[in-house]
């Protein structure tokens, strides 16, 4: 079933400027949590990433070094992660679209010990948003926070090379048409951002239709109900009922 959904890609692959429509199982169970079968994707989240960041402190004896004299890289990294989550909360409360992930964090196995205050922590950071201004705001606040933590803890953060991508918006007309098609088919839906790349990144007018998927995609426990497949199909039938003049033109 998943292969069938992926096969339903552009309905015109011979003309790159023609619209691209992609039904896709949702990548996270957000629709499930809201009790909605379908989601109309408004844009692909851009990102910035620090894959090889690290916090540098100073190794010392855990039984002898007082708290005020420690330069504990683990403690500093924990503070950064906690405060980054608070920044994320504030941005979401302000209506911003954002996801933040510290996917790896670890001490140096050649140096760490049960009885050592850690002087080195490796970590990576992945921030994504459909809004350039949100990415910029988060990074700005994060760097200010990291500077304050470094001063407080006697450590320093070295971020390494920065990589990332620019957000790509779905075609506004197609998003409106897809939302209207869901309504016409009497299928509840919501407009939402996505992590998946589409031909929108190449400038092709595009829209994605997410189908509710338990446990998210890229997961051996992913699961889609056939009723939701039927709902997606009904929305697509309603979409294709639009006359040719309604579609974005090359």
* CATH class of the domain at 2-45+168-246: alpha beta
Q: What are phi and psi of 193, to 5 degrees?
A: -90, 160
- Least confident interval from 24-33, 61-70, 105-114, 233-242: 24-33
For residue 205, list its beta bridge partners: none
Instruction: Evaluate whether 19 touches 174 at the Cβ level (below 8 Å).
Output: yes
What span, in angstroms and rounded, lies between the C-alpha atoms of 237 and 26? 20
Q: Taking each helix axis from N to C terminus, what angle separates 132-153 and 73-93, rounded to the nearest 10 degrees?
A: 150
User: What angle is formed at CA 143 by the lines to CA 103 and CA 133, rounded to 5 degrees?
Assistant: 85
* Segment 142-155 mean pLDDT: 98
* Segment 140-157 mean pLDDT: 97
What span, in angstroms and rounded, lies between the C-alpha atoms of 21 and 178? 10
13 pLDDT higher than 70:
no
10 Å CB burial of residue 199 (0-12, 13-18, 19+) is buried
Q: Kindly indicate the confidence band of residue 246, based on its pLDDT and cuts at 50, 70 and 90.
A: confident
Secondary structure element (H or E) that encloses residue 196, with its range: none
State both tokens at 236.
């697509």
Fold match, 2-45+168-246 / 46-165: no
Average pLDDT of the chain? 88
Dihedral sign, Cα of residue 142, residue 144, residue 150, residue 156: positive
144 pLDDT higher than 50:
yes
For the chain, what are the domain ranges? 2-45+168-246, 46-165
State both tokens at 171.
């075609």
Report the CATH architecture of 46-165: 2-Layer Sandwich (3.30)
Check residues 189 and 204 and name the one with the higher pLDDT.
Answer: 189
Q: Report pLDDT digits (tens) over 85-121.
A: 999 999 999 999 999 999 999 999 999 999 999 999 9
149 pLDDT higher than 60:
yes
Return the SS3 of 17. Answer: coil
- Least confident interval from 24-33, 91-100, 180-189: 24-33
The distance of Cα 22 from the centroid of its chain, to the nearest Å, equals: 19
What span, in angstroms and rounded, lies between the C-alpha atoms of 38 and 178? 11
The per-residue pLDDT for 195 is 66
Check residues 10 and 104 and name the one with the higher pLDDT.
Answer: 104
């Amino acid at each position: 079933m998943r292969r069938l959904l992926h096969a339903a890609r552009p309905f015109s692959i011979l003309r790159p400027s023609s619209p691209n429509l992609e039904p896709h199982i949702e990548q996270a169970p957000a629709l499930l949590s809201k009790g909605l079968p379908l989601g109309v994707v408004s844009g692909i989240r851009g990102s910035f990433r620090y894959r090889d960041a690290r916090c540098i402190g100073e190794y010392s004896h855990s039984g002898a070094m007082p708290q005020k004299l420690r330069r504990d890289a683990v403690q500093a990294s924990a503070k950064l992660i906690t405060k980054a989550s608070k920044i994320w909360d504030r941005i979401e409360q302000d209506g911003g679209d954002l996801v933040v992930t510290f996917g790896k964090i670890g001490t140096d196995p050649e140096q760490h010990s049960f009885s050592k205050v850690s002087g080195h922590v490796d970590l990576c950071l992945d921030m994504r948003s459909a809004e350039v201004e949100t990415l910029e705001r988060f990074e700005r606040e994060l760097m200010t926070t990291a500077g304050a933590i470094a001063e407080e803890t006697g450590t320093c953060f070295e971020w390494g090379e920065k990589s990332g991508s620019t957000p790509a918006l779905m075609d506004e007309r197609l998003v409106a048409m897809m939302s209207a098609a869901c309504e016409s088919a009497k299928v509840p839906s919501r407009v939402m951002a996505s992590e998946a790349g589409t031909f929108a990144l190449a400038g092709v007018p595009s829209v994605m239709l997410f189908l509710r998927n338990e446990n998210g995609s890229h997961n051996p426990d992913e699961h889609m109900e056939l009723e939701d497949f039927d709902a997606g199909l009904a929305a697509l039938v309603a979409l294709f009922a639009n006359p040719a003049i309604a579609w974005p033109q090359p």
